Amino acid sequence: VSTLTVSVAEILGRPGEYRDLDISASLEGIQTTLARLDATPIATQLRAESIVEGILFSGRVRASAQLECARCLKGFTEPVDLKVRELYAAPGQELGDDVYEVKGLEADLEPMLRDAIALALPLNPLCRPDCKGLCGICGTDWNEGPCDCRVDDVDPRWAPLDALRERLEG
């Protein structure tokens, strides 16, 4: 049983009743190509609200992610702060396949939090909005200064194409 399993016994089937929950827990293995949740436990401030269909969980989730800049590959850490609002269907409610469910008198919030956090991780993290990236030829970090390749190796006939590419990337 994960620490993210909460009892809803007191409010299930009593629409209008609610409980506030502050839960911290470690979640491992949430990642995308350039981002992953780090070892900092996630902190949630959630309200569990009883409605006719089940229990509605809403509130705030905070975590910390280890990211890799999509342009210069530098690693950096960034807070993850998201809002969630998800229904857990009461036992016996037929609300479809991709709905979270109350099992018995408990709701396991882990799958919901995993889904929400994975969606909140940036797909294209940047160490800073104007990161210049690395030179594709010599690997110089253009944030630290220009290299010589760009000027010397560029065939003037390709200049318009390079300008276009830079505009698209920018």
State how far Cα 46 lies from the chain centre. Answer: 17
Instruction: Return the number of the residue (6 or 71) whose C-beta is nearest Zn ion.
Output: 71
Q: Does 70 bind Zn ion (CB under 5 A)?
A: no
Contact between 135 and Zn ion per CB under 5 A? yes
Give the nearer residue to Zn ion in terms of CB position, either 109 or 127: 127
User: Residues 86, 119: contact at Cβ < 8 Å?
Assistant: no
Q: Which is nearer to Zn ion, 43 or 131 (CB)?
A: 131
Which one of residues 27, 30, 127, 134 is an interface residue with Zn ion (CB under 5 A)?
A: 127
Nearer to Zn ion, 99 or 131 (CB): 131
The piece of 20-28, 41-49, 145-153, 160-168 that touches Zn ion (CB under 5 A) is: 145-153
Question: To 5 degrees, how large is the angle CA 10–CA 113–CA 119?
Answer: 150
Strand, helix or coil at 141? strand
Confirm or reject binding of residue 140 to Zn ion (CB under 5 A).
Answer: yes
Residue 117 gets which letter from DSSP?
H
Q: Which residues inside 34-53 make contact with Zn ion, applying CB under 5 A?
A: none
- On whether the CB atoms of residues 46 and 32 are closer than 8 A, the answer is no
The nearest distance, CB 127 to Zn ion, in angstroms, is 3
Q: Is 138 in the site for Zn ion (CB under 5 A)?
A: yes
Which strand (E) or helix (H) includes residue 77?
strand 75-89
Rounded CA gap, 37 and 41, in Å? Answer: 9
Spatial contact of 35 and 125, defined as CB atoms under 8 Å apart: yes
The contact set with Zn ion (CB under 5 A) reads: 69, 71-72, 74, 127, 131, 135, 137-138, 140, 147, 149
